[in-house]
């Protein structure tokens, strides 16, 4: 057991380290703002509002939080500026807890995961890391190269399939993505795969509209296997801040997202975007990525995230 504990501690310190840029740009500003203040003043609320907006927490979250703080101040529950920080922390946890829903893979039948995301978000790497975790947990996993528009995408998935020892279903570049998925579903049945992770295009070279292409894959899957895709997972890059949110909204409106992965949290001062996405999207955050390592993709836990941000 000791090893597992170390692993958890190791991850927490990496999470803390990963969120250091966000902490500097956000919590440090909150600390500096309240340092030496004796009372909670109107100016303090205005300053806090600015800090929250700058940290990509979004207007909806900021407005609700400031209202909550003003209400508590009226009821004399805000005895000191330091108490602001505690309320901020509690409030963030309340928002994030709603999004904390790990992906459970049933051990019977085939569980299909269609992974979406704009090129450059770390989509294929995320798929490789997910496969690594599933296989390590005894879940036979198959990878499917349905981004047939870029040779590099197929090659990258092939490297991951060898690295984590997962079979890969692919066709030549330019093949119809839906045909690849069709083949894969039939292969998964005969190979007794439990999880099937499908990489899809992030943009197309052709005139075909990306969303139409993705909808077609989804239709074919549903036709061949009841309930498929069982998870439609969108990968967004946290370093892009508000852009990540608009991507999530666009994909959700067009395709219907059942889960999110936020990558590159270790490279950004915009880690607050996680909170904004949780507040405005109401979609489970399945994983967060905090580094390059195989184990740096982790199940999202709101309390860990907030503690790593504040402490």
* Domains with residue ranges and CATH for the chain: 2-97 (1.20.120.140), 111-301 (3.40.50.300)
Distance CA 25, CA 87 (A): 19
- Alpha-carbon radius of gyration of the chain: 21
3 state SS of 259: strand
Q: Given the DSSP bridges, would you call strands 168-169 and 231-237 parallel, antiparallel or unpaired?
A: unpaired
Q: What is the pTM of this model?
A: 0.93
Strand order in the sheet with 231-237: 168-169, 141-146, 195-200, 111-116, 231-237, 259-263, 285-289, 297-299
Predicted local confidence at residue 2, as pLDDT? 40
3 state SS of 288: strand
Predicted local confidence at residue 6, as pLDDT? 61
145 near 280, Cβ under 8 Å? no
Q: pLDDT tens, position by position, for the chain (311 residues)? A: 344 556 677 778 888 988 998 898 899 999 999 988 888 888 999 999 999 988 889 999 999 999 999 998 888 888 888 888 999 999 999 999 999 999 999 998 999 999 999 999 999 999 999 999 999 999 999 999 999 999 999 999 999 999 999 999 999 999 999 999 999 999 988 888 999 999 999 998 777 799 999 999 999 999 999 999 999 999 999 999 899 999 999 999 999 999 999 999 988 888 889 999 999 999 999 999 988 888 889 999 999 999 999 98
Q: Where are the alpha helices (DSSP H) in the chain?
A: 2-18, 20-25, 27-34, 42-54, 59-74, 81-97, 123-136, 151-164, 177-191, 210-224, 242-254, 273-281, 302-310
């Amino acid at each position: 057991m000791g090893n597992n504990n170390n692993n958890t501690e190791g991850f927490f310190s990496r999470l803390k380290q990963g969120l250091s840029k966000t902490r500097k740009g956000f919590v440090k500003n909150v600390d500096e703002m309240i340092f030496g203040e004796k009372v909670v003043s109107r100016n303090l609320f205005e300053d806090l509002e600015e800090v929250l907006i700058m940290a990509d927490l979004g207007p909806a979250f900021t407005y609700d939080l400031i209202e909550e703080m003003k209400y508590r101040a009226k009821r004399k529950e805000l005895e000191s500026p330091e108490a602001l920080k505690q309320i901020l922390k509690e409030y963030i946890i309340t928002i994030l807890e709603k999004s904390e829903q790990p992906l459970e893979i049933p051990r019977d039948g085939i569980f299909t995961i269609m992974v979406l995301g704009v090129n450059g978000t770390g989509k294929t790497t995320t798929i490789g890391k997910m496969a690594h975790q599933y296989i390590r947990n005894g879940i036979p996993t198959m990878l499917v190269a349905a981004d047939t528009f870029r040779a590099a995408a197929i090659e990258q998935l092939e490297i991951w399939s060898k690295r984590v020892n997962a079979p890969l279903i692919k066709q030549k570049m330019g093949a119809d993505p839906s045909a690849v998925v069709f083949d894969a579903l039939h292969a998964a049945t005969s190979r007794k795969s439990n999880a099937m992770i499908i990489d899809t295009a992030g943009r197309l070279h052709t005139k075909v509209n990306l969303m139409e292409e993705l909808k077609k894959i989804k239709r074919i899957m549903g036709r061949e296997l009841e309930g498929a895709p069982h998870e439609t997972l969108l990968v967004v890059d946290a370093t892009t801040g508000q852009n990540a949110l608009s991507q999530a909204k666009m994909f959700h409106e067009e395709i219907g997202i059942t889960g999110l992965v936020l990558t590159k949290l270790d490279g950004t001062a915009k880690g607050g975007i996680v909170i904004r996405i949780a507040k405005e999207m109401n979609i489970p955050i399945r994983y967060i990525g905090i580094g390059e390592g195989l184990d740096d993709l982790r199940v999202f836990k709101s309390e860990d995230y907030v503690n790593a941000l504040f402490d």
